[in-house]
């Protein structure tokens, strides 16, 4: 019998308790022994709820309990989660977490602490919710040199963009609806500004390439400037707008960015809609692989956390190797990356095309019936730097990058 503790009885924490109860027998079969939740740390009490008898308010009760082998951290945020996780590892307990902020900020330090003690620090649920992606990257794609990871990593923004695309609604209206449905937070900044997706691509990039990406160095743009007009142009181009987190290895540099991109029907993530997440990976020998599923939600996320618990129980006394070290990865300068850009400028083709072509060279003009006083175009491939220089010479309304990945 393996006993575990859960830090935080919120959405994911209560999901973990539910999954372990629901699938008790099959989990025991998979883990090689029964797995039981012994203690749950929460500031609150839950009178009348069967969980109440397991609730503790002091983390040290868990840390000092020699019966507890594995600690599940699902509190979110950096502190006190970071302190509690370190204490658990120091006390000889493996840790499983869904906390992407913690992993993005302190992953390699916690991995090293676990390794030094023959314990494990696992975080499958920190990226892609229930979708198995951390373990496949870590254990399945080991024969490959990864050349690209591109993902729709945030369910909230994918829901908003899908609704805007399908219903022609405005960003503000869809955000409000998403908040009412509980898909978006009252303060949606972490999602809509791309901060959440940015941490996730930083984690995936670190795992794929073996050194640490500082998420603060990943160029990050949110979806707040995407308008219904942008979607009309997108449709005309046979594209949709998706918030992508992507890192690509070009030469010996890795270039990472989180931003809205236009993608067309040949793109592997074109059909990943609503709150689903999808992650595309290209390796130098495997070629293309894609993973998709529920990127968030109580039970899918809990499923990933509990899979980590099972792995910790199976690997008691053995550290499961990762290649993620604390060595800092020097990301390539995003200004050097060449790509296509979709641009909207004020004016009309008749009056302003010459000026635009003077700045951008050959372009493909896109006009949408009913959108007046402006026109759109797609540039030839150019670097971000060259783009910014050219854009300074035109009266730009908005620009969205294009991602041209397609399945080979």
Residues 6+ apart with CB under 8 A from 363: 356, 357, 377, 378, 379, 380
293 binds a copy of itself (CB under 8 A): yes
Smallest distance from a copy of itself to CB 306, Å: 3
Element (H, E) at 195: helix 195-209
Question: 134 or 226: whose CB is closer to a copy of itself?
Answer: 134
Contact 304, 296 (CB under 8 A): no
Identify which of 320, 313, 303, 305 has the alpha carbon closest to the alpha carbon of residue 72: 305
Question: 207 or 257: whose CB is closer to a copy of itself?
Answer: 207
Contact 198, 151 (CB under 8 A): no
115 binds a copy of itself (CB under 8 A): no
Terminal CA-to-CA distance of the chain, rounded, Å?
Answer: 47
Half-sphere exposure of 378 (CA within 13 A, CB side): 19
264 binds a copy of itself (CB under 8 A): no
Smallest distance from a copy of itself to CB 244, Å: 18
Contact 351, 399 (CB under 8 A): no
303 binds a copy of itself (CB under 8 A): yes
Smallest distance from a copy of itself to CB 314, Å: 6
Question: 22 or 83: whose CB is closer to a copy of itself?
Answer: 22
Q: Which of these is catalytic: 87, 200, 248, 249?
A: 200
* Helices (H) then strands (E): counts for the chain: 14, 18
140 binds a copy of itself (CB under 8 A): yes
Question: 275 or 368: whose CB is closer to a copy of itself?
Answer: 275
Residue 266 CB-density burial (10 A; 0-12 exposed, 13-18 middle, 19+ buried): exposed
Smallest distance from a copy of itself to CB 81, Å: 21
- Interface region with a copy of itself, contact rule CB under 8 A, candidates 30-38, 44-52, 175-183, 372-380: 30-38
Which listed residue (51, 112, 141, 237) binds a copy of itself by CB under 8 A? 141
Total residues in contact with a copy of itself, by rule CB under 8 A: 55
SS3 assignment, position 133: coil
Contact 271, 251 (CB under 8 A): no
Interactions with a copy of itself, residue window 192-211 (CB under 8 A): 210
**Has 232 been annotated as catalytic?**
no
Known catalytic residues are 200
Q: Which residues contact a copy of itself (rule: CB under 8 A)?
A: 19-20, 22-23, 26-27, 29-32, 124, 130-132, 135-136, 139-145, 210, 271, 276, 283-294, 297, 299-300, 302-307, 309-311, 314, 318, 321, 323, 407
């Amino acid at each position: 019998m393996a006993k575990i503790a859960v830090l935080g009885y919120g959405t994911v924490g209560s999901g973990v308790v539910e999954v372990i109860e629901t699938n008790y027998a099959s989990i025991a079969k998979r883990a090689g022994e029964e797995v039981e939740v012994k203690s749950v740390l929460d500031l609150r009490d839950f009178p009348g709820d069967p969980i109440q008898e397991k609730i503790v308010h002091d983390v040290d009760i868990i840390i000092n309990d020699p019966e507890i082998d594995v600690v599940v951290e699902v509190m979110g945020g950096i502190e006190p989660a970071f302190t509690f996780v370190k204490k658990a590892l120091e006390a000889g307990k493996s840790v499983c977490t869904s906390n992407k902020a913690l992993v993005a900020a302190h992953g390699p330090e916690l991995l090293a602490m676990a390794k030094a003690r023959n314990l494990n620090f696992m975080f499958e649920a920190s990226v892609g919710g229930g979708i198995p992606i951390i373990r496949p990257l870590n254990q399945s794609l080991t024969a490959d040199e990864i050349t690209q990871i591109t993902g729709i990593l945030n369910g909230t923004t994918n829901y908003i963009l899908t609704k805007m695309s399908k219903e022609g609604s405005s960003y503000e209206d869809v955000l409000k609806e998403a908040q009412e449905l509980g898909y978006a937070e009252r303060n949606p900044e972490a999602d809509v500004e791309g901060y959440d997706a940015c941490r996730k691509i930083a984690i995936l990039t670190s795992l794929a390439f073996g050194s640490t990406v500082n998420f603060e160095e990943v160029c990050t743009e949110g979806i707040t400037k995407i308008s219904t007009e942008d979607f009309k142009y997108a449709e005309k181009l046979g594209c949709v707008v998706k918030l992508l987190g992507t890192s690509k290895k070009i030469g010996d540099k890795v270039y990472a960015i989180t931003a809205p991109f236009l993608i067309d029907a040949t793109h592997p993530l074109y059909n990943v809609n609503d709150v689903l997440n999808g992650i595309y990976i290209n390796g130098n020998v495997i070629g293309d692989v894609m993973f998709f599923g529920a990127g968030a939600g109580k039970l899918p996320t809990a499923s990933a956390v509990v899979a980590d618990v099972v792995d910790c129980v199976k690997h008691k006394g053995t550290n499961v190797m990762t290649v993620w070290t604390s060595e800092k990865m020097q990301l390539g300068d995003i200004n050097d990356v060449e790509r296509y850009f979709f641009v909207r400028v004020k004016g009309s083709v008749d009056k302003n095309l010459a000026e635009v072509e003077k700045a951008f060279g050959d372009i493909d003009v896109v006009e949408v019936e009913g959108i007046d006083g402006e026109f759109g175009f797609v540039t030839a491939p150019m670097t971000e730097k060259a783009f910014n220089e050219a854009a300074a010479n035109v009266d730009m309304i908005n620009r969205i990058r294009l991602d041209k990945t397609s399945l080979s």
